[in-house]
Amino acid sequence: MGDVLVFAEHQGGHFPKTTLVAVNAGIELAKKRGGGRCIAAIVGEKIDAPAAELAKYGVSKVVALDDPKLAHYLADLYAQALTALAKGLGVEYILATATATGKDLMPRVAARLNAPMASEIVSIGDDGTLVRPMYAGNALATVEMDAPVKVVSVRATAFDSAKPGDSAAPVEKAAPELDSAGLKMQFVGFNEIKSDRPQLSEARIVVSGGRGLKSSENFKTVLEPLVDEMGAAMGASRAAVDAGFVPNDLQVGQTGKVVAPELYVAVGISGAIQHLAGMKDSKTIVAINKDEEAPIFNVADYGLVADLFKAVPEMVEALKKVKHS
Amino acid sequence: MKILASVKRVPDPATTIRILPDGSGIATDNVKWVINPFDEIAIEEALRIKEKQGGGEVVLMSIGQQTWQEQLRTGLAMGADRAILVRADQPLDSLAIARVMAKIAGDEKPDLVILGKQAIDDDSNQVGQMLAEMLGWPQATFASKVEIAGTKCTVVREVDGGLETIAFDLPAVITTDLRLNEPRYASLPGIMKARKKELKEIPVDSLGVDLAPKLKIKKLAAPPKREAGRKVGSVEELVSVLHSEAKVI
């Protein structure tokens, strides 16, 4: 019967949906592995408030590693702090969501503990076996790990978020155990791409543009009105990002972000295997493309073969009418 | 400056993946094998660093079967100086692969190890990070820009919500992201020269590394197939069905 330690990522004291997903998955894993504890770890500086908040989400306890040295995430720094905590608690599993931070950090934690790691799991079997996607999601692999300590990262779209309850678990503050000789990385800066729109990982509706938009100007004048009329997050195919139409953090796909919103609208996207890997679990998929042979139509619930430069503005107007009816 | 670049042999990304009926693996009869696209980017970056520095050595490293020589020769044809093929016929998990790479790095003493961020067959995205921890080196994953000045390295990384810049002294491990560079094609003279470049084979058992897999793949299965939808005739119809049928707006 093993305990699970969840790395609860926070952004300036706020918990994104991706963290609440990890908490939920951690609770499920602990239950299925014999009823051990699910302990949440929050790492950073001045984190009293988020630690207290996290305690309401059904975990057994929250450990806050609170120190000015931990203000900025760095792989070697956080790996040291988290593994020392994991060892001290004697947990069997360490779990995090496969965000950019989770992907960067968790394998380092695994190696530090000589633990195997299952990346981006999408389900937890009753017997503790884990399922993860391979070959751009064209195969689901059932994996087993045989080691006293195991590391898991979860795909954010595959689990529900933990819900807050009335009772609060105890919160413990701990000083991080750090070996400064092993810390060799320096945070220089973060060029944040600010947006008023919902985040791709959290939005109920995602509207993505592909190379068919032809320019970054068209993304602004043609696609963005649709995105905003629907209150959606904006995504893009790799081709659109490579062509410089939009920044990299909008890329949806096998090696970009994986999303599964209620509605995914693909505009001017042909539907390469690698793009499908990032959105084929969306509840409803709409495709607008002037090429009726485009592979995207094979996964779309509703396909419109049309010139997007006509269809998208028409759709914006039609949606305005629905709103006002 | 010595750069070690990792090369994995994978099915071409455009391959239609067919899972064997017993779930033991994928059918390989229709597979075209290529260098993992992210590793190609790694080789290219290594070559650019060497060219910018006006000297140095780019060494390729693979852990796999005899057939992987093909991909190493392609890397040599791109311009790498020599290659190491650690011969392993058994399946190895990421920990074991990182351990083998750490041993090679210990012997070769490179200033930089550069790998693709993930292999497009396994999609685990672990080896680079594990290797960095085993070597006790800094790691810069998902690199979209690399700058080296002497022993100081600055890397811009593609992360959620934007671009992060970190800095560290070499030696270090870098993993590549899509937009780091566009790999060159091997030229015909390059292909000719590659035949004479050193490709050393080392049996994996001779390295004294723990290879026993701790992560095992029990079986592969196809994901649930998405039912085909339908085409709509107009924007009006589309908005209507999204509202009344799918109930998403």
Closest-CA distance of chain A to residue B158, Å:
7
What whole-number distance in Å separates Cα of residue A5 and Cα of residue A28? Answer: 12
- Alpha-carbon distance B68 to B86, whole Å? 10
- Token pair 């680079």: residue: B128
Q: Of chain A residues 235-264, which have a CB less than 8 A from chain B?
A: 238, 241-242, 247-249, 254-255, 257, 262-263
Between B249 and A267, whose confidence is greater? A267
Put simply, the answer to whether B129 touches A205 (Cβ < 8 Å) is no
Report pLDDT digits (tens) over A262-285.
Answer: 999 999 999 999 999 999 999 999
Residue B136 with chain A: CB contacts under 8 Å? 182
Find chain B residues with C-beta within 8 A of A106's C-beta.
129
Is the pLDDT assigned to residue A242 strictly greater than 70? yes
Average pLDDT (A182-202) is 92
What is the percent of chain B where pLDDT is above 90? 95
Q: How far apart are CA A149 and CA A118, in angstroms?
A: 12
**Do β-strands A139-145 and A130-134 pair in parallel, antiparallel, or remain unpaired?**
antiparallel
Percent of chain B's residues with pLDDT above 70:
100
Asked if B67 and B11 count as a contact pair (C-beta separation under 8 A), the reply is: no
Task: Please tell me the predicted confidence (pLDDT) of residue B231.
Answer: 95
* Strand ranges (E), B65-205: 82-87, 112-116, 139-149, 152-159, 162-169, 172-176, 199-203
Q: Which of B98, B158, B168 sits opposite A248 (nearest CB)?
A: B158
Angstrom distances, CA of residue B40 to CA of A145, B117, B128: 30, 11, 15
Which positions in chain A touch B20 (Cβ < 8 Å)? none
Residues of chain A contacting B232 with CB distance shorter than 8 Å: 302-304
For residue B116, what is the nearest residue in chain A, using CA coordinates?
A255
| Cβ atoms within 10 Å, residue B116 | 29
Which residues are within 8 A (CB) of B95 and not within 5 positions of it... i.e. 6 or more apart? A110, A111, A114, A115, A116, A117, B130, B214, B215
Interface contact B95-A110, CB threshold 8 A = yes
Closest partner residue to B162 (CB to CB) among A146, A205, A249 is A249
Chain B contact set for A179 (CB, 8 A): none
Measuring CA to CA, how many Å separate B215 from each of A115, A143, A155, B212, B218?
A: 9, 7, 18, 9, 9
Assess whether pLDDT exceeds 80 at residue A290. Answer: yes
Run of H or E residues at B16: none
Q: Which residues of A44-53 are buried (b: 16+ CB within 10 A; e: fewer)?
A: beebeebbeb
- Which pairing describes strands B172-176 and B112-116: parallel, antiparallel, or unpaired? parallel
Question: Which residues lie below 8 Å from residue A148, measured CB to CB, with a gap of 6+?
Answer: A92
Instruction: Chain A: give the shortest CA distance to residue B15, in Å.
Output: 9
Of B169, B215, B232, the CB nearest to A303: B232
B19 touches chain A (CB under 8 A): yes
B178-203 mean pLDDT: 96
- How much is the pLDDT for B115? 98
B141–A75 C-beta distance less than 8 A = yes
The chain A residue lying nearest B230, using CA atoms, is: A302
Q: What pLDDT, on a 0 to 100 scale, did the predictor assign at position B8?
A: 98
pLDDT of amino acid A1: 60
pTM score: 0.94
Q: Which of A229, A195, A214 is nearest to A323 (CA)?
A: A229
pLDDT(A3) > 80? yes
**pLDDT per residue as tens digits for the range A31-62:** 999 889 999 999 999 999 999 999 999 999 99
Angle, CA of A151, B122 and A190, to the nearest 5°: 65
Contact A143 B217 (CB under 8 A): yes
Name every chain B residue with its beta carbon within 8 A of the beta carbon of A147: 214
Q: Residue B44 and residue B52: Cα distance in Å, rounded?
A: 12
Q: Which residues contact A165 (CB under 8 A, 6 or more apart)?
A: A56, A57, A58
Strands B2-6 and B112-116: parallel
Q: Are strands B162-169 and A205-209 parallel, antiparallel or unpaired?
A: unpaired
Q: What is the mean pLDDT of residues B16-28?
A: 95
Instruction: State residue A325's pLDDT score.
Output: 65
Record: contact A263-B249, CB cut-off 8 A: yes
Residues 38-57 of A with CB under 8 A from B: none
Going A257 to A262 to A267 to A272, the CA torsion angle's sign is: positive
A contacts of B180 (beta carbons < 8 Å): none
| pLDDT confidence of residue A30 | 96
Quick check: A136 and B120 CB within 8 A?
A: yes
Mean pLDDT of B29-51: 97
A190 touches chain B (CB under 8 A): yes
pLDDT in tens, A71-108: 999 999 999 999 999 999 999 999 999 999 999 999 99
Question: Could you give the 3-state DSSP secondary structure of residue A2?
Answer: coil
Report ipTM for this prediction.
0.95
Reported as a single tens digit per residue, the pLDDT across A114-159 is: 999 999 999 999 888 899 999 999 999 999 999 999 999 999 999 9
Nearest by CB to B243, which of A76, A136, A322? A322
Size of interface A-B (CB pairs under 8 A): 250
User: Hey, is A226 helix, strand or coil?
Assistant: helix
Average pLDDT, chain A: 95
pLDDT at A324 over 80: no
Q: Is the predicted pLDDT of residue B183 greater than 70, yes or no? A: yes
pLDDT in tens, A211-235: 999 999 999 999 999 999 999 999 9
Is B149 touching A (CB cutoff 8 A)?
Answer: no
The CA distance from B74 to B205, in Å, is 26
